Structure 1
Amino acid sequence: MPMKIDRLNPASLAPPGRYCHVAVVSAGRQVHISGQIALDAMGQVVGEGDLAAQAEQVFANLAAGLAAAGADFSKVFKTVSYVVDLTPEKAAAIHRVRVKYLGEGPYPASTMVGVTALVDPRLLVEIELIAALD
């Protein structure tokens, strides 16, 4: 039986944007993908100084990880994004890329955190996720 994901937005919480407040996952297998950064398959930084280009590479890397595990973005129920010097404009740029991969919903439970730096000073965004396999 496929793993069921119920995405809940309780009326007692503020209406969410492009995320859900609660993701309830039935028992089953999950895939946890480590934070992905804007490195290509050769380990080279993609889009230095360009947040949108880096977000595109990050989501492409996440897609590759999901595919390797036999999943896709429809199975994602949790994301965590780390953004260097986060501003509303930077969040919007990432959301524009995110919607290309996650579509118009239902959205996973999501957190976006502003950080001062990532492992390499050329990197601007890192995203990790959890998806249901079955």
Structure 2
Amino acid sequence: MTRVVEPTVAEPPRRDMFSNARIVGGQFFLSGMHAGGPSGPGAAADTHAQAVEAFRRMRALTEACGATVDDIVVLRIYLTDIDDRSAVGRARSAVFSGDFPCSTLVEVSALVEPGLTVEVEAQGFLPTADHPGRPFTAQ
């Protein structure tokens, strides 16, 4: 197993609690990405803006693993208000095209930080010789 880091996606403050990204065999796994930070969601107050930032972080970590968003096969989206699904859908459609990943979208009562409304978790397969990717950044 390899932990993967990406400079534009902050690592958890206690690195012994979880990893943002891991590679295991030919697969990569991403923890839930959201728009939160040390001072909360900041400028990303509405769900669409938060989703855009969550997908940006997801893409950055996917690429740090040596893959692209086309290599993501499973996507899980958590919303604090299911009525925000169209706002998240707009952000999602700017990231994915063609064959979309298998996806689950659920409403939850809260996310890890106050003010967060959306979190995105993903997993996929690393590119093969038929679809070469970039080398990953291990730590």
TM-score, structure 1 as length reference: 0.71
Q: CA RMSD in A?
A: 1.7
1:30 maps to: 27
2:36 maps to: 39
Which of residues 50, 60, 63 is equivalent to 1:67?
A: 63
Flag structure 2 segments of 5+ consecutive residues without an equivalent.
Answer: 1-24, 128-139
1:72, distance to aligned residue in structure 2 (A): 1.0
1:43, distance to aligned residue in structure 2 (A): 6.8
Which of residues 94, 116, 120 is equivalent to 1:127?
A: 120
**Partner amino acid for 1:129?**
A
The answer as to whether partners of 1:82 and 1:126 remain within 8 angstroms in 2 is yes
1:85 maps to: 81
Alignment: residue pair count: 103
Structure having greater relative contact order (Cα 8 Å, sep ≥ 6): 1
Once the two structures are aligned, what percentage of the paired residues are identical? 33
CA 1:113–1:74 in structure 2 vs 1: closer, same or farther (change >3 Å)? Answer: same
Flag structure 1 segments of 5+ consecutive residues without an equivalent.
Answer: 1-27
For residues 71-95 of structure 1, give each alpha carbon's deviation from its aligned partner in whole angstroms, at most 9, with x where no partner exists. Answer: 11110100000000212xx111101
1:54 maps to: 50
TM-score, structure 2 as length reference: 0.68
**Partner amino acid for 1:114?**
E
1:116, distance to aligned residue in structure 2 (A): 0.9
CA 1:69–1:54 in structure 2 vs 1: closer, same or farther (change >3 Å)? Answer: same
